A and B are shown apart, each in its own frame.
Chain A
Amino acid sequence: MKEGSAINGAAMMQASVLLAHDVGLHARPSVKLTKLAKTFAAEVELATAREGPWIDAKSIVKVMALKARKDTTLYFRAKGADAETAVSALISLVARDFGDGSSDK
């Protein structure tokens, strides 16, 4: 699910995806997620609830601290020039199960 809005003039993108990875947002997926997030100029944030609290999706310390398990809904939001690309790329990474084949098909 995606929604765009303009807050203080900057484009803000938000979307959510269900985490299906067998062991949740663990070391390997978190490394992939933060690495991908860092490739964007936009501020990218992550939460496990629509209303937050939001954390920096570029920090593995914070991402791992969520200890998000399988079947958690992950919310991404981004602000900045490439916000839309950033959110779709991250959503797609999670939807593709981080490129892993280990979860139930």
Chain B
Amino acid sequence: MAVVISESLELQGRPAAAGIAVGPLIVLGDLSPQRAASGSIEIERRDFESALASAAHDLSQLIARVEGDGSDMLAFQLAYLEDETLRSRVIEVLSNGVPADEAWQQLLNAEINDYRSADDEYFAARSGDLKDLRDRVLRHLKGGVLERSLAPGAVIASDEVGPTLFLEMDWSKGGGLLLTAGSASSHVAMLARASGVPMVVGLGQVNFQDHSEAVIDGETGRAILSPNEEQRNRYLLKLANIKQQKTWETAFLRKPARSADGVHIELLINVAAIEELDRIDSAVCGGIGLMRTEFLFKDGKPLPDEEQQYAAYRRLLEWAGEKPVTIRTLDLGGDKPVRGLTSEREKNPFLGVRGIRLTLVRSNVFRTQLRALARAAVHGNLKVMLPMVTIAEEIRQAGLLLDDVMRELKAEGIACARPPLGIMVEVPAVAIAPELYDEAAFFSIGSNDLTQYVMAAARDEPGVSHLNDPTHPAILKLIASVVAFGRDRNIPVSLCGDMASDPRYLRPLLRAGLRSISVAPDAIGRVKAALSEAVLSET
């Protein structure tokens, strides 16, 4: 094989998951080498059958490993793969002398296009699953790069990558993802962030073939193909610094969350996707301070049923053991639209029907969630949190609905328990007059939304980012007043916004009187380390 020495090529994409990777470049998917047709119908047929069997084997193995949302998607792919109709159609095309990979691609592409053009969002979204399935069989047919045999630590380049492929790859030795298309809000991007795999999306058309090594900076969205010595060393140094910092933080992971002068802080974690728990030992935190449930309700996917939700919630509680788990009811709307559930015609979605406002209107969706939560509550220390509460009446209404589903479950003879109902403190009205909401079992300050509403500065608007400051005295004053009120009335107060994960903000929060915070899982070590240096009597 000829050695090609290429000029280094710098690319700018969109950041999807932070981190740095330096490693061999492997190109996947449509970009992989062509398969040479055998010319024999018998061989093509045999190759096709064996690729189908291998793909089915992959999927069955994955199904055994993955739970929840992911396993339904895999079950659908497997059912499709085992379908006699599809198989016989491919065999029919093969019999006309068409090579196996072309025949498979031809039929699957027709299916994919058919789904993509469906006017129903739920059906249209299946085209992504079929693409994933098409590529899996193609990889087996081409006998080229198979995910399991990928060099550990490699940088994978492709147009798009399906979640199944991501889950199958071994990321323990590093590596990263470079996508020419893709989105930072995709399921894969979420998995990448949760697993600490650097990922850059939206690179546009790139000719990867001339390059054999790559550098990714997932924080800036920058990538370099065939880096020169200077570039490679610069990124290796960055990587080493990150690792060193991580080692320092990891040393604190298993230590108690205590200040330099021995004050204990309740340190909880925020969880966005259930897969994140696979990598976290519950012993390193005091429980889950915020479990978002939006991951179950994805745009373009069917609404999760009671059983799916119950299974997911139960799993969280079993993971946490005796420790508290705070699950937030569906918080859609605002920047998290789901077609068919949230309104598309709002001029200002952040001030519109979102959070509890939406779930009280869509009470059938809310009831299903409350039923699943009440059933899960028997398996641990569950608390339920209502987002975007603005008036106390909303807490009452949610409470009545919860009473109602409790009656229903008992009548059906289904085991259930009534979890305490607390609220997010994110609407300024609540932070200003917490005494109006004293029926809440607990308060959790959502500093992201509280900041944007108090400062009238959107979180994602670069022009006002200097105003979106969670340490502005007005915000800290509100936090301090909510904490003081909670202490007076024996209502637990915690904070679960992004600011809790940033050590720079730790002292102001402690000074405001907070003794319970909920942070991103990868911030546990960092926050404990920062805490160990803080002297509370001085703050």
A interface residues with partner B (beta carbon < 8 Å)? 22-24, 26-28, 30-31, 34-35, 56, 58-62, 64-65, 67, 69, 99-105
Q: Which 10 A-B pairs have the closest CB atoms?
A: A101-B306, A100-B305, A59-B85, A27-B76, A102-B305, A23-B302, A60-B79, A61-B83, A23-B122, A31-B79
- B122 adjacent to A28 (CB under 8 Å): no
- Please name all residues of chain B whose beta carbon is closer than 8 Å to the beta carbon of A100 when the two chains form the complex: 305-307
Instruction: Verify A24–B368 contact, CB threshold 8 A.
Output: no
B303 within 8 A of A: yes
Residues of chain A lying within 8 A (CB to CB) of residue B302: 22-23, 26-28, 102
- State whether B76 touches A58 (Cβ < 8 A): no
Which A residues are CB-close (under 8 A) to B456?
Answer: none
Complex CA gap A58/B364 in Å reads 32
Which secondary structure dominates chain B's binding surface? helix
Contact of B123 among A26, A60, A62 (CB under 8 A): A26
The minimal Cβ–Cβ distance linking B308 to chain A, given in whole angstroms, is 8
Query: Does B538 sit at the interface, judged by CB under 8 A?
Result: no
Closest B residue to A59 using CB positions: B85
The reply to whether B304 and A65 form a contact with Cβ atoms under 8 Å apart is no
Contact between B304 and A102 (Cβ–Cβ < 8 Å)? yes
Q: From A102, which residue of chain B is reached at the shortest CB distance?
A: B305
Chain A residues whose C-beta falls within 8 Å of the C-beta of B111 in the assembled complex: 61
Residues on B with beta carbons closer than 8 Å to the beta carbon of A59: 83-86
From B80, B118, B304, give the contact of A67 (CB < 8 A).
B118
A56 lies within 8 A of B85 (CB)? yes
| 13 interchain pairs, CB-CB under 8 A | A24-B120, A27-B72, A27-B76, A27-B126, A28-B76, A56-B85, A59-B84, A60-B76, A61-B85, A61-B111, A99-B305, A102-B368, A104-B364
Instruction: Tell me, in angstroms, the Cα distance from A59 to B365 when the chains sit together.
Output: 31
A24 in contact with B122 given A61-B85, A101-B368, A102-B368 (CB within 8 Å)? yes
B120 lies within 8 A of A67 (CB) = yes
Which A residues touch B114, using CB under 8 A? 65
Tell me the complex Cα distance, A34–B80, Å.
10
A101 lies within 8 A of B371 (CB): yes
Q: Smallest Cβ distance from A68 to chain B, in angstroms?
A: 10
Write out the residue numbers on chain A whose beta carbons fall within 8 Å of the beta carbon of B304: 102
Give the residues from 301 to 322 in chain B that come closer than 8 angstroms, CB to CB, to chain A.
302-307
Q: Which residues on B sit within 8 Å (CB–CB) of A64?
A: 123, 126
Complex contacts, B79 vs chain A, CB 8 Å: 30-31, 34-35, 60
A101 pairs with B305, CB closer than 8 A:
yes
| Nearest Cβ on chain A to B36's Cβ, whole angstroms | 29
CA distance A26 to B305 in the complex (A): 13
CB distance from B335 to the nearest CB of A (A): 23
Question: For residue B306, which residues in chain A have a CB less than 8 angstroms away from its CB?
Answer: 100-102
| Chain B: interface size category | 20 to 34
CB contacts (< 8 Å) of A61 on chain B: these are 80, 83, 85-86, 111
Please state if A31 and B75 are interface contacts (CB–CB under 8 Å): yes
Q: Is the CB of B371 within 8 A of A67?
A: no
- How far apart sit A30 and B83, CA to CA, in the bound complex (Å)? 12
Q: Verify if B129 is at the interface (C-beta below 8 Å from A).
A: yes
**Of the candidates B84, B123, B129, B305, which one forms a contact with A58 in the assembled complex, judged by CB atoms under 8 Å apart?**
B84
For residue B80, which residues in chain A have a CB less than 8 angstroms away from its CB?
60-61
- Measured CB to CB, the nearest residue on chain B to A98 is B305
Residues in A with CB closer than 8 Å to B122 are 23-24, 26
- When chains A and B are docked, how far (Å) is the Cα of A65 from the Cα of B129? 15
Cβ of A22 and Cβ of B303 under 8 Å apart? yes
Chain B residues with Cβ below 8 Å from A28 are: 72, 75-76, 302
Contact B303 A27 (CB under 8 A): no
- CB–CB B120/A69 < 8 A: yes
- Smallest CB-CB separation from A69: which chain B residue? B120
Asked whether A27 lies within 8 Å of B129 as measured between CB atoms, the reply is: yes
Residues of A contacting B75 in the complex (Cβ-Cβ under 8 angstroms): 28, 31
For B120, the chain A residues whose CB sits under 8 A away are 24, 67, 69
Q: Which residue of A lies closest to B107 (CB)?
A: A61
B364–A105 CB distance below 8 A = yes
Q: In the complex, A57→B84 CA distance in Å?
A: 12
Bound CA–CA A60/B364 (angstroms): 29
In chain A, what residue has the closest Cβ to B340? A23
Nearest Cβ on chain A to B114's Cβ, whole angstroms: 7
A77 to B289, CA, bound (A): 52
Which residues 42-79 of B have a CB within 8 angstroms of A?
A: 72-73, 75-76, 79
| Cα A23 to Cα B75 with chains together (Å) | 18
Q: Which residue of B lies closest to A65 (CB)?
A: B114
A56-B85, A101-B306 are known contacts; what are 8 more A-B pairs with Cβ within 8 Å?
Answer: A28-B72, A28-B75, A31-B72, A65-B114, A101-B305, A101-B307, A102-B302, A102-B303
Shortest CB-to-CB span from B15 to chain A, Å, is 31
Query: What are the residues of chain A within 8 A of B126 when measuring CB–CB?
Result: 27, 64
- Rounded to whole angstroms, the CA-CA distance of A69 and B123 in the bound complex is 10
Q: List B contacts of A104 (CB < 8 A).
A: 364
Name, among B73, B111, B302, B368, the residue most crowded by chain A CB atoms within 10 Å (CB to CB): B302
Q: Which residues of A contact B367 (CB under 8 A)?
A: 105
CB distance from B250 to the nearest CB of A (A): 40
A35 / chain B contacts, CB cutoff of 8 Å? 79
Per the 8 Å Cβ criterion, residues 74-100 of B in contact with A are: 75-76, 79-80, 83-86
Contact partners of A69 in chain B: CB under 8 A: 120
A61→B107 CA distance, assembly (Å): 11
Inter-chain CA distance A104–B365, complex, in Å, is 9
Q: Which B residues are CB-close (under 8 A) to A31?
A: 72, 75-76, 79
* Cβ–Cβ < 8 Å partners of A22 in chain B: 302-303
Output the least CB separation between B125 and chain A (Å).
9
CA distance A102 to B307 in the complex (A): 9
- Report whether A60 and B129 are in contact in the complex, using a CB–CB cutoff of 8 Å: no
